Amino acid sequence: MTRLPASGSSPRPALTRRLLATAAASAAVMLAGCAGSAGGPSTNGAGAGSGFDYGAAQADVDAALADLDPVTITYQPTAASEKSVMAPGGTVLAEEIEKRSGGKISVDIVWGQAIAGYTEVHDALADGRVDLAFTLPAYDPAEFPVFDAMSTSLAVLPTSPYAGELVANAAGAEVAWGSDALVEEFEAQGLSPLIPLIASGGYYTICTDPLETAEDFDGRQIRIGSSAQSEQIQNLGATPVSLPFPETYEALQRNTIDCDLGQLIPAAESGMFDVAKHIAYPTEHSFSRSPGAYMAGKTYRELPLAYQQVIYDAMIAAFDGQMQVSVGGNAVAVGAVKHAGGTITEFPSEVQKELGEQTQQMSREAGEQAGQDSLADDMAAAGEKWSTRIEELGFTDGGGVEDLDEWYDDGTDYRKFGTAVFEEVFTEHRPG
């Protein structure tokens, strides 16, 4: 397959270079990015041949692949172009799979959702136009009601700028893999989940004026990205506004809206802090996230077993890379807010209490509507488990969001975190 040209351009070059350096430090950011299916049916037969053990020596992998025909897979990462801060997720995935397979699997990267946008990519995976992809099932809650409920339930978890991000991603993955209903939901659409849910980064209010008291929320026009976020914002007295992200900068600039409820990295890349430089955040609970998933499609199931294992095992680096970008990128973004003369404040206690009560109710209702009555409790329990586990692994917060840029070590190695999650959650679902 001919590689498609990169599209788009890199906004705010200086900041993007710094964010890119953070991402590149963990080249695996999305390595788990999307393992998947071959670009065409394999003559070796679906799941045919012998596989290899998890953690096997390269010589054993080479032996398992020796008699297999070479294949090419098409991978559609989340990055808009090769110049994007998220680009390493595309290039590193290709390099990892090609290296582990000894060159037997070639990965063709397609940037900018050029084959299928987020609303169409699941169909493209199912019919074979795309083989691997980062997807957003939350864009289609009618087709993926269990996933939508899980997205909402992530809000029951407490947050912190470092350990809290690890907990959310580990707990989300564990609860997702533990749900037969979610796996069946994906399989019914012709999809093979490789990471059925990845929480990505937390959400912050990014405003033109500070949010310092409960009264400051009254009447504020806040851009949201989901129905659950809409409920949360309304409950705090503000007015939710549904608006595509690319239009957010201009809306803030023209005072059409007062705030964006979003993640810090895309805000930094888009230059949003030039027009909205006041960040506020909760700690005891969180806003509903818009998590993603790493999916394979039609031809993944037609690959020989050893090829499936090569692709699946690449998921171990996903959490390492995701945290390098999510936490490290947030640290850079916090520095950018300070440089712009902005403020970074924790929500007042009365706002946190109101958010927590409403979030618990909303999460339970979402689980019940999806036929997952214990979902909120399951997520909370997984969060407690992984909070302890993360501390045991040596990952602890060295401060708060307001000084994240000062105490965060951008050389942090998350590999043992990724290994722990993979071995405790993912190996049970490994092909073969």
At 213-235, the pLDDT tens digits run: 999 999 999 999 888 899 999 99
Q: Residue 408: which pLDDT band, with cuts at 50, 70 and 90?
A: very high
Asked whether residue 340 carries a pLDDT value surpassing 90, the answer given is yes
Residue that the structure tokens 């404040």 belong to: 345
pLDDT for the residue 29: 36
> What is the per-residue pLDDT for 225?
84
Single pTM value for the model: 0.85
Q: How far apart are CA 397 and CA 419, in angstroms?
A: 20
Contact 310, 73 (CB under 8 A): no
Pick from 16-30, 49-63, 232-246, 363-377: least confident: 16-30
pLDDT band at 262 (very low <50, low <70, confident <90, very high): very high
Q: Is the pLDDT of residue 415 over 90?
A: no
**291-307 core/surface letters (b: 16 or more CB in 10 A; e: else):** bbbbbbbbbbbbbbbbb
- Percentage of the chain lying above the pLDDT 90 cut: 69
**Residue 426 predicted with pLDDT over 90:** yes
pLDDT at 360: 92
Question: pLDDT tens digit string along 142-179?
Answer: 999 999 999 999 999 989 999 999 999 999 999 999 99
Q: Contact at 8 Å (CB) between 126 and 111? A: no
323-339 average pLDDT score = 89
| Residue with the larger pLDDT of the pair 322 and 381 | 381
Nearest-10 Cα torsion for 267, 271, 272, 273: 100
Q: Which residue has the higher pLDDT, 265 or 35?
A: 265
> In this structure, are strands 105-109 and 71-76 parallel, antiparallel, or unpaired?
parallel
pLDDT the model gives residue 122: 97
Average pLDDT of every residue of the chain: 87
Structure tokens at 146: 């269990």
Residue 67 has, within 13 A of its CA and on its CB side, a CA count of: 8
Whether 71 has a pLDDT exceeding 50, the answer reads yes
56: its two tokens: 């096997």
Residue 413's pLDDT is 87
**Where does the pLDDT of residue 124 fall: very low under 50, low under 70, confident under 90, or very high at 90 and above?**
very high
C-alpha atoms less than 13 angstroms from C-alpha of 387 in its C-beta half-sphere: 11
Q: CA-CA distance, 196 to 175, in Å (whole number)? A: 10
Question: Which of the four pLDDT bands, split at 50, 70 and 90, describes residue 207?
Answer: very high
- For 240-255, write each residue's pLDDT tens digit: 999 888 899 999 999 9
Residue 73: Cβ-neighbour burial (10 angstroms; 0-12, 13-18, 19+): buried
Q: For residue 3, which of 52, 57, 74 has the smallest C-alpha distance?
A: 74
Pairwise CA distance, residues 192 & 35, whole Å: 9
The contacts of residue 306 (CB under 8 Å, 6+ apart) are: 49, 50, 51, 52, 61, 64, 65, 68
pLDDT at residue number 246: 86
pLDDT of residue 48: 65
Query: How many of the other CB atoms lie within 10 Å of CB of 336?
Result: 25
Domains recognised in the chain with CATH numbers: 13-204+286-345+353-429 (3.40.190.170)
* Strand 292-296 with 192-198, pairing: antiparallel
Q: In the numeric block, which tokens belong to residue 65?
A: 């692949």
pLDDT at 67: 95
10 Å Cβ neighbour count for 210?
Answer: 16
User: Does residue 4 carry a pLDDT above 60?
Assistant: no
